[in-house]
Amino acid sequence: MKWSGMDRILVTGGTSFSGLHLVRSLVRDGHAVRVMTRSLERARAMLPAECEIVCGEITERGDVEHAMRGREVVYHLADSAGERVAHARDHWHINVQGTRLVMQAAMDEKVRRIVHCGTARVHGDTGPGSANEESAFRPANAYELSKLQAERLALLFVRECALPVVVARPTWTYGADDRRFRRMMSSVRRGHVVIPGTRTARVHPIHVEDLVRGLKLLATRDDAIGESFILGGPEHLSLDELITVIARAIGVTRPQVHIPELSTRMLVWASERFGSFGGSMRGRLEFFTKSHVFDIGKAARVLGFNPLVAVSEGVGRTVLWEERVALVRSKNPARRRSGEVVARPSGALRKRYGLSDDALIVGAVTRFFPVAGTRYLLDAFPRVRAAVPSARLLVVGEGAEREALEKQARRLGITPFVIFAGMREDIAAHLRLCDLAVVSATDDGLSLAAVEALSAGVPLVATRVGGLSSVVRDGENGILVPPGDSDAMASAIIRVLRNPVLRGELAARINAAGRGSAFGQIADLPARAANA
């Protein structure tokens, strides 16, 4: 089945983490998307304005039939994962009964394709190897068992009723606006990650953008009908390694708190016996102590599925997103932080980094991940140095690419003039040291670094991407250049460094507008940030 110019699509579970990303992608593709949801208020707050929203329960026949009317393609993502369930039968009611109603309504409506979303976790602990679609099923809890039953029911409709159903089994999915990943980030930031067992359990993440690409492929391939496909990312890693990647992205020391698995299992047993938290605790225990690694070869062969987002890049992009959302939600973090950070005199920082009084400092507060574009700034700096010999580059940040960037600086012969300062708490003090700040991002442009630079009164050279254009006004408080263009970036930096009058005019306009005004601009754009 090939996409027409505009397909009429129904998405159940469209306000879930994965569903939300799928809906936004389908809307961008120009399709007429209808979302079935339990909460109209939540859907209106989260979904693109172009969506049609219908309220209803996935377990009510009339609601499902109403949502299905006039649809050609169905993505069935609604399940009990995000619900508060008191009993195992509730998982069955939502997942199995809900799937039966969706399939029956789709058959009556003669839809062209149904993509049913299951979970790869129905294969259970994969041990030291990996599982594929033909591996044995080992569901470990009521949720996984009900998801397996729902998948079998969906495929039964293919065999008995010739319904065009295809099944996705995603691995552990993460990305922007994922509450589970946000909690993990928060734990890593606080140093409170408790990992039971031997730390050797492995996880196979998939970034939500790759998952969306896979789900859309399933809707277009006729040879996929009646089949199940595991959709996973390009790599797997141990949980210990995952925690390390997250810590490097955030810029903190990796937490190292571990307890024996037996002690944790005893705690879970006590909670199940005497308390009400056993289910969630057992799920977390299984996550930390059991490996879930998968072979995605079938999806590659049949669908041409090729996951693109490596874990280090995906985690870095997610951290950038969470910083951006935190910025919007907090309204004005600069004022909040100003009471937390004692700014050091710039003279002390110059002494720390061995900078002479006549040095012109180009600053970059960044994360060392591909979307940050730091490599383009380094590529630009030899030309900057040739034109302005007193120029020095001060890079504040951490990330997975640090070693590669340091090697790049050595290859370019600029190591003596580049300072990799690492992650610093006194960001504002470092920015006030700079004559010019640079934001070289190639994506995710609503940058905390840009806003902090403007709040410190520092002129900006920034890339013309995403939300940066709503903060940096070309020629007024900074200069905008095309993303990924090292020559244009070098020209802009040279122009500002060589012209003290221009630097002064840019700084004066920033101060006249009010240094905190950039935060106000962003706070007024929550919908834009949510849909970026």
The pLDDT value recorded for residue 57 is: 94
Q: Would the pLDDT of 493 be above 60?
A: yes
Rounded to 5 degrees, φ, ψ at 90 are -65, -35
Q: What pLDDT band is residue 424 in, cutting at 50, 70 and 90? A: confident
**Where are the chain's structural domains?**
8-309, 324-531
Once rounded to an integer, what is the mean pLDDT over residues 254-274? 53
3-state secondary structure of 464: coil
The pLDDT value recorded for residue 112 is: 95
Cβ neighbours of residue 119 closer than 8 Å, sequence gap 6 or more: 144, 147, 169, 170
Pick the CATH number of 8-309 from 3.40.50.720, 3.40.1160.10, 3.20.20.150, 3.30.1330.60: 3.40.50.720
Most confident of 5-19, 91-105, 262-276: 91-105
Per-residue pLDDT tens digits for 291-306 = 899 999 999 999 999 9
For residues 20 and 504, is the Cβ–Cβ distance under 8 A? no
Once rounded to an integer, what is the mean pLDDT over residues 91-117? 96
- Answer with the residue of higher pLDDT: 184 or 300: 300
Once rounded to an integer, what is the mean pLDDT over residues 517-521? 47
What tokens appear for 293 in the block? 């690694």
Q: What pLDDT band is residue 110 in, cutting at 50, 70 and 90? A: very high
The pLDDT value recorded for residue 83 is: 66
Strands (E) across 232-357 are located at 237-238, 257-259
- Was domain 324-531 assigned CATH 3.40.50.2000? yes
Q: What pLDDT band is residue 134 in, cutting at 50, 70 and 90? A: very high
Number of Cα atoms under 13 Å in the Cβ half of residue 180: 14
Listed range (57-61, 131-135, 141-145, 519-523) with the worst mean pLDDT: 519-523
The pLDDT value recorded for residue 55 is: 93
Q: Would the pLDDT of 203 be above 50?
A: yes
Listed range (74-88, 101-115, 342-356, 406-420) with the worst mean pLDDT: 342-356
Q: Would the pLDDT of 332 be above 70?
A: no
In this chain, the answer to whether the domains covering 8-309 and 324-531 adopt an identical fold is yes
Please state, rounded to an integer, the average pLDDT across all residues of the chain: 82
Q: Would the pLDDT of 527 be above 60?
A: no
The pLDDT value recorded for residue 488 is: 95
Instruction: Give the Å distances, CA to CA, from 61 to 97, 103, 104, 232, 479.
Output: 10, 11, 9, 33, 57
In terms of Cβ atoms closer than 10 Å to its own Cβ (0-12, 13-18, 19+), residue 386 is exposed
Number of Cα atoms under 13 Å in the Cβ half of residue 511: 8
Q: What pLDDT band is residue 338 in, cutting at 50, 70 and 90? A: very low
The pLDDT value recorded for residue 249 is: 80
Q: Would the pLDDT of 346 be above 80?
A: no
Instruction: Give the Å distances, CA to CA, from 504 to 204, 427, 430, 476, 499.
Output: 51, 22, 19, 11, 9
Q: Would the pLDDT of 139 be above 50?
A: yes
